[in-house]
Amino acid sequence: MGIPLLQMAQIGAYVARQQLMGRKRYPLVLMLEPLFRCNLACAGCGKIDYPDEILNQRLSLEDSLAAVDECGAPVVVIAGGEPLLHRDLPAIVEGAMAKGKYVTVCTNALLLEKNLDRYKPNRYFNWSIHLDGDAGMHDHSVCQDGVYERAVAAMKLAQKRGFRVTINCTLFNNADPDRVAAFFDEMKKQGIEGITVSPGYAYERAPDQQHFLNREKTKQLFRAIFSRGKNGKAWPFFQSMLFLDFLAGNRTYQCTPWGNPTRTVFGWQRPCYLLGEGYAPTFKALMEETDWDAYGTGRYEKCADCMVHCGFEASAVREAFQRPWEMLGILLKGFRTSGPMVPDLPLASQRPATYVFNQQVEEKLSELHHHKAARDHLSAAE
């Protein structure tokens, strides 16, 4: 199935309104991370390497829904950490849907079965199950045996209960195209509504730094996978066709980091979902005060190998809106998987990486200690 027509039409209408209003930068998807705590510790994950005091923080229901309003994007993706560990997640989901948003919850599904009764199927809501390939691939990726089996069982239960279910699959440089293609075939057979696939980002805080893909290998891998499935037409992708064509080396895009603005317990993350180079107190400050030209391919060393959906999907959606005929060839023939690739943006003048993680953690801890001291002082005075 891929993205339902109604969802595509509503997002298209939103993009049209932004273009008509002459907005140069506008959000498409709010990435809401109401917590960093997770019940897994995947080798390629750069989201959970925080001290307990930070892992114990939660964005409240009120702050989460305020972020939905502030941002205004038509789609809200709730990620983490593991969102199902947040006790107010059902209310966040319901609250965002009540505001007319399409809501996706990204989950490793280990707690799904236990929590499913707290949610109701809705065409505005889907579970996106984290599955990085078949049983062997996924269990290796999440560093725990048996996780694939449990996630697939929960996925089937959610489907049986009438939920919309998609999967999100992150690929690394050890991905075997034959196995990835067979896994996509299997997921299609299982009746999932869509597949979201992306190369992994080389998180500086990820324990495994050996298996991230570079740009060249990303393009070769995606061509090899697509060529095993009718040039990609065999599978119901839940993302922009032009973004997948970019992954296959057939398009050149600069990234659009403001397309997927990210709200975490630290604030609005600069510049994107993947990089935390600073935090803005409001969405307005994020959009107006970020030096966007300092980020992206060829501009910043940490962006050099990034071809991740949260940076480039919005670039593809913008092109799809401006040049819809570009999608016709893909719809008819699939993605081109042979012949020369288009040239990429040059990397020679990118500025070197700066490392600010430890400073941010120290600042957050000092803020938390300050708040605790103020609370203790108040209760002693009462």
Per CB under 6 A, residues contacting ligand SF4 are: 38, 40-42, 45, 47-48, 80-82, 108, 130, 142, 255, 257, 271-272, 274-275, 295-297, 303, 306, 308, 310-311
Tell whether the torsion through CA atoms of 136, 142, 146 and 148 is positive or negative: negative
User: For residue 367, with 0-12 CB atoms within 10 Å meaning exposed, 13-18 middle and 19 or more buried, which class applies?
Assistant: exposed
Q: Minimum distance from CB of 291 to ligand SF4 (Å)?
A: 11
- Looking only at the bridges linking them, the beta strands covering 125-130 and 262-264 are unpaired
Q: Minimum distance from CB of 153 to ligand SF4 (Å)?
A: 17
Shorter beta-carbon distance to ligand SF4: residue 143 or 365: 143
Shorter beta-carbon distance to ligand SF4: residue 108 or 126: 108
Rounded distance between C-alpha atoms, residue 132 and residue 111, angstroms? 18
Shorter beta-carbon distance to ligand SF4: residue 51 or 324: 51
The residue number with the shortest CB distance to ligand SF4 is: 311
Q: Minimum distance from CB of 199 to ligand SF4 (Å)?
A: 11
Q: Minimum distance from CB of 184 to ligand SF4 (Å)?
A: 20
Shorter beta-carbon distance to ligand SF4: residue 45 or 192: 45
Residues whose CB falls within 8 Å of the CB of residue 22, separated by 6 or more in sequence, listed in order = none
Helices (H), ranges, the chain: 5-20, 52-55, 61-71, 89-98, 112-115, 135-142, 147-160, 177-189, 215-227, 241-247, 283-289, 309-322, 326-333, 357-381
Shorter beta-carbon distance to ligand SF4: residue 18 or 144: 144
Q: Minimum distance from CB of 301 to ligand SF4 (Å)?
A: 10
Shorter beta-carbon distance to ligand SF4: residue 55 or 116: 55
Q: Minimum distance from CB of 145 to ligand SF4 (Å)?
A: 15
- Helical (H) or strand (E) element with 131: none
In the numeric block, the tokens 């996630």 are attached to 151
Compute the chain's Rg from CA coordinates. Answer: 20
Which residues are paired to 195 by β-bridges?
Answer: 167, 237
